């Protein structure tokens, strides 16, 4: 078991947290991390791009004019793709961009990313993150004191003050431990995580 340093908001030390070696000393695997990032990005794509083919256009299917004798091309109905207001030929349609990734692979990738954050000292464990004020300025000053003006905050208890104080900071993201993934960890150089949040993530990853 590895012991990680835990600090309070005033930067005084709290009781250290014991973390399993399976999590704290996981090897860095760039291939797993790359697969996890691709999986996460593909899953977040909306895939709602679509166009109307001639079958989706509302209108009459009547032949516009006779086939022969007009000197013009052979007519179809008004929904034909080559006519103004007609359907789109071979256009994009709704699709699911998500890909599958084995659950064990996703867990291994998250363990690898967290362990690398610990090794690089980019993960700061907090005893708690209860704010006294909902002011954005107060949270900004706190993050600067902790050396993490741009950070991902992972906590189990997202109270009203933390939610209001963080929503106007574009370089700060607050998430629940269940939302923690490899892509989120890589987006931010610094990660502030409560001891309860890390314990929750550890329980999920090593069982």
User: Which domains, and CATH codes, for the chain?
Assistant: 2-45+98-205 (3.40.1370.10), 50-96 (no CATH)
- For every one of its 207 residues, what pLDDT tens digit does the chain have, with 9 covering 90 and above? 889 999 998 889 999 999 999 999 999 999 999 999 999 999 999 889 999 999 999 988 899 999 999 998 888 899 999 998 899 999 999 999 999 999 999 999 999 999 999 999 999 999 988 888 999 999 999 999 999 999 999 999 898 999 999 999 999 999 999 999 999 999 999 999 999 999 999 999 987
Check residue 59 and give its pLDDT: 87
Report the Cα–Cα distance between both ends of the chain, in Å, rounded: 15
pTM above 0.75, yes or no: yes
Q: What pLDDT score was predicted for residue 197?
A: 94
Burial track 123-155 (b if 16+ CB lie within 10 A, e otherwise): bbbbbebebeeeeeeebbebbeebebeebbbbb
Q: What is the 3-state secondary structure (H, E, C) of 24-47?
A: HCCCCCHHHHHHHHHHHHHHHCCC
Q: Apex CA 166: angle with CA 162 and CA 172, to 5°?
A: 125
The answer to whether the beta carbons of residues 114 and 197 sit under 8 Å apart is no
Residue 63 CA to residue 70 CA, distance in Å, equals 14
Instruction: Find the Cα–Cα–Cα–Cα dihedral 105, 110, 112, 113, rounded to 10°.
Output: 140
Query: How far is Cα 155 from Cα 200, in angstroms, rounded to an integer?
Result: 10
Q: Check residue 13 and report its DSSP letter.
A: B
Beta bridge partners of 125: 6, 193
Res 38: pLDDT: 96
């Amino acid at each position: 078991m590895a012991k990680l340093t835990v600090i309070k908001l005033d930067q005084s030390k709290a009781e250290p947290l014991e973390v399993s070696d399976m999590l704290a000393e996981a090897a860095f695997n760039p291939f797993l991390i790359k697969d996890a990032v691709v999986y996460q990005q593909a899953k977040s794509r909306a895939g709602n791009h679509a166009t109307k083919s001639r079958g989706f256009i509302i209108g009459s299917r009547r032949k516009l004019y006779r086939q022969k004798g007009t000197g013009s091309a052979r007519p179809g109905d008004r929904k034909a793709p080559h006519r103004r207001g007609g359907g789109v030929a071979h256009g994009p349609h709704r699709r699911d961009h998500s890909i599958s990734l084995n659950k064990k692979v996703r867990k291994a990738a998250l363990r690898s990313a967290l362990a690398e954050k610990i090794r690089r000292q980019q993960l700061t464990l907090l005893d708690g993150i209860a704010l006294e004020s909902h002011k954005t300025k107060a949270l900004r000053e706190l993050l600067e004191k902790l050396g993490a003006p741009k950070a991902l905050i992972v906590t189990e208890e997202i109270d009203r003050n933390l939610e209001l104080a963080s929503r106007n900071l574009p370089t700060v993201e607050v998430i629940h431990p269940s939302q923690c993934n490899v892509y989120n960890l890589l987006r931010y150089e610094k990660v502030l995580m409560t001891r309860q949040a890390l314990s929750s993530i550890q329980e999920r990853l090593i069982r």
